[in-house]
Amino acid sequence: MVVPAKSDISLDPALCAHPTGGHSIAPWLTDFVPRRWLSNGHLQTIAGNFWPRPPFHLPAEEVAVEVDPADASRVLCHCHWQPRPVRASRLTLVLLHGLEGSSDSRYIRGIATRAWAAGMNVVRMNMRNCCNSEALTPTLYHSGRSADVGAVVEYFAALHGLQRVALVGYSMGGNLMLKLAGEWGNRAPLSAVATVCPIVDLAPSADALHEPANRAYERHFLRNLMRRIGRKAELFPEIYRLAGLGPVRSIREFDDKIVAPYCGFRDADDYYYRVASARVVDRIGVPTLILCAQDDPFIRLLPETRALLLANPQITFVETRKGGHCAFLSRDPGADIHWAEATMMRFLATTVADNAEEPVHTAKSEKISDGQLQ
């Protein structure tokens, strides 16, 4: 079930496993040709974070959804609903950002705009505390809170009678979406999953962030994480006591000193093992797309995890040689410069949305470039 897919500037094939098997490229999958001068993983990653996008003007309904009755924890969601007569039958996308991102992250707004224009409902979900919502929960977010995603899906499904929901996640959010998908199997209303550069194996990825070439990313994440835990200590001083914490010089150290003790894990290694979606991807029971790049600076995939992904007939695993971390800036014109977003929309339109009573439409698909499959 391994299908080579042409995917970069030299048209060398990348690995693509597709549930249909055989040796043809999925009709929704097009070449990824990096933007000129952006063939380096670091350049892609940095440029992808700052590349200009059109202003975001979608009106949103702000809803704080309770995800844990035990401590009344809530997460902030920004929702974009299609008209009531078609709302329940339209595909609903629940979007989730990466580490220290939010519902206002550029990539979240980008895919939200595409999905709304395609006639889908959109829920831009925040992890606990994100988008200035620290007061909504006494707890911290972490990579294992897939139950929060499930609670959001169930809340809106019950409220609006939603028939089909697709999960879309980036990086850390991708791990959470895959984890929930593995836990739910083919449970309704879950219909599909699409992820970009998910952190499926947390331990090697956290350690990769501490490599010399990636220290700038790690310092950026740590600055934001330490500011956030500082705000939590101000809001909940009876819970978070930072005196004597000492220096925190790596993501692993942050997870060891803060995430583990405050979230019920023995240490960082225990946390990484227990929350990794790698443990449940073999149980995913709905069409699932995983996009990743071989030159991602800090996402690492263990051989045994790769084997699990390739063995699950529901998972389409696409790995390009170039693309960086959650960037994939291509030479395609207009909005389709964001290749990952365009690819996910075509995947969802093909696997899920075409079954709607009133079909939705994505932006024009690109043609597959001429080239030789190997």
Q: Give the model confidence (pLDDT) of 306-352 as tens digits.
A: 999 999 999 999 999 999 999 999 998 888 899 999 999 999 999 98
pLDDT of residue 333: 85
Lowest-pLDDT choice from 112-126, 207-221, 327-341: 327-341
pLDDT of residue 369: 27
Task: Answer whether 28's CB lies under 8 Å from 365's CB.
Answer: yes
Q: Is the pLDDT of residue 176 over 50?
A: yes
CA distance 345 to 320: 18
Q: Is the pLDDT of residue 280 over 60?
A: yes
Q: Fill in the amino acid letter for 190.
A: L
**Residue 6: which pLDDT band, with cuts at 50, 70 and 90?**
very low
Task: Answer whether 325's CB lies under 8 Å from 293's CB.
Answer: yes
Cα four-point dihedral sign 112, 115, 119, 122:
negative
Pick the more confident residue, 284 or 15: 284
CA distance 305 to 8: 24
Residue 75: beta bridge partners?
65
Domain boundaries 2-201+277-355, corresponding CATH code? 3.40.50.1820
Report the relative pairing of strands 315-320 and 92-96 from DSSP bridges. unpaired
Specify the DSSP class assigned to residue 68. Answer: E
Length of the chain: 374
pLDDT of residue 374: 23
Question: What residue spans define the domains of the chain?
Answer: 2-201+277-355, 202-275
φ, ψ for residue 77, nearest 5 deg: -125, 140
Q: What percent of the chain has pLDDT over 90?
A: 83
Q: What percent of the chain has pLDDT over 70?
A: 87
Q: Is the pLDDT of residue 17 over 60?
A: no
Give the helix ranges, DSSP H, for the chain.
Answer: 41-50, 84-87, 106-117, 146-160, 172-184, 202-209, 215-235, 251-254, 260-263, 268-275, 303-311, 339-351
Q: Is the pLDDT of residue 4 over 80?
A: no
CA distance 352 to 287: 8
